[in-house]
Structure formats: structure tokens, C-alpha cells
């Protein structure tokens, strides 16, 4: 998805959906997995990686832009080195 399709409010909405989802569902057995959250519908996808989730979306013929994270972490990935 091109960056110009992503609206600034999508990030906040996806993070809210994810917080609500985690309260309603036990995701402790999915720690470290990738998670994709649809910021419009709140649908949650799990997989081993972003590419895995994208493949699942393609099979399901869904093209919604997703916010990606990792279960148990604040961000999907990290740039730079640790200090």
C-alpha cells in the first residue's frame, strides 16, 4: 500500500482496536507473532510475518490497509542498533 493511502487517524484507530481486542482475547500464546489490524473495521489478522498476513489477505480477497505490530511489543520492527 502506498503511504498516501494511509490517513494519520488510522494509526490511532488501529491501536485502539488492538487494545480492545487484547482485553477481550487472551493473546499470550501469540507473543512475537505479527498482527495486522484493519483501522476501519477492527479486523485482526495474525501470522508469522507481515508477508504472511498479506498472503492471507490476498487469499481472502481483502485489500484493506493494515496497521502492523508484534504481539507483546510496542512496534513491529526496530531500526538502528540497541544501546
Please give the full DSSP string across the chain, using - where no structure is assigned: --GGG--HHHHHHHHHHHHHHHHHS--GGGTT-EEEE-TTT--EEEESSHHHHHHHHHHTT-----EEEETTSSSS---S---
Chain-centroid distance of CA 41 in Å reads 13
Q: Where are the domains of the chain?
A: 3-25+32-70
| pLDDT tens digit sequence for 45-79 | 999 999 999 999 999 999 899 999 999 987 776 55
Task: Identify any residues that bridge with 70 across adjacent strands, giving them in sequence order.
Answer: 34
Residue 1: band (very low, low, confident or very high) from pLDDT cuts 50, 70, 90: very low
**Any residues with CB less than 8 A from the CB of 1 and at least 6 apart, and which?**
65
Mean pLDDT, residues 22-50: 96
Please give the model's pTM, rounded to 2 decimal places.
0.82
Amino acid at each position: 500500500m502506498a503511504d498516501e493511502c494511509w490517513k494519520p487517524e488510522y494509526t490511532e484507530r488501529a491501536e485502539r482496536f488492538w487494545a480492545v481486542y487484547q482485553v477481550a482475547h487472551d493473546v499470550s500464546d501469540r507473543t512475537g507473532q505479527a498482527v495486522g489490524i484493519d483501522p476501519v473495521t477492527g479486523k485482526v489478522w495474525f501470522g508469522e510475518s507481515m508477508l504472511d498476513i498479506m498472503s492471507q489477505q490476498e487469499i481472502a480477497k481483502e485489500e484493506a490497509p493494515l496497521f502492523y505490530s508484534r504481539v507483546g511489543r510496542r512496534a513491529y520492527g526496530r531500526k538502528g542498533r540497541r544501546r
